[in-house]
Structure 1
């Protein structure tokens, strides 16, 4: 049950709403930088927002999808349950033993 695109968009909105200084920066990006990358201003802005989101997740020692769940879960308990569910899915897809996976990623099952 990886976070949906809709849920991720909601998390990005919440993330940005909580950071007026980031919104201000994103609203005043140099349009020449977007042009130099061959992107529209909206695409360039979106890319910078995603970078800031990833950086925040990394700062908190989370995967970006974990930050998405953290920002959109109704409660800390719901976040933990969803987080473990996704980690379990990842372990299964990787063909790893759950306990071994938990040890590798410092997860308390």
Structure 2
């Protein structure tokens, strides 16, 4: 599996490939808006892309990392396995019982 950063970049590219209207919008951002925020046009564009990605994840009822996995997993089964693995790690870091965590987030273990 690719490093998380590489995986996320791949997901962003796939996300844009599926939304040509968003790509056009991002390619025609007003440079004055970027300047007003103290950002380069590339930074401003990147921020808008991430906002759109996160909004789509929220619309789908997913965390952004879940959308990344969904867009980059080889199969639906691979997506589910990776998703559960990350959720297990989060539960461990939070010091939560796995079944309690699953119940809280509506996950089928």
> Per the shorter chain, which TM-score range?
over 0.9
Deviation at 1:8, TM superposition (A): 0.2
Please give the TM-score of this superposition, normalised by the length of structure 2: 0.97
Give ranges in structure 2 of 5+ residues lacking alignment: none
Give ranges in structure 1 of 5+ residues lacking alignment: none
Runs of 4+ in 1 over 6 A off after TM superposition: none
In structure 2, the partner of 1:64 is 64
In structure 2, C-alpha distance between the alignment counterparts of 1:83 and 1:4, rounded to whole Å = 13
In structure 1, the partner of 2:22 is 22
In structure 2, the partner of 1:48 is 48
Q: How does 1:1-109 map to 2 (within 5 A)?
A: 4-109=4-109
Figure out how many residues of one structure are paired with residues of the other and give that number. 108
Cα RMSD over matched residues? 1.1
If asked which structure has higher relative contact order (CA below 8 Å, sep 6+), I would say 1
Please give the TM-score of this superposition, normalised by the length of structure 1: 0.97
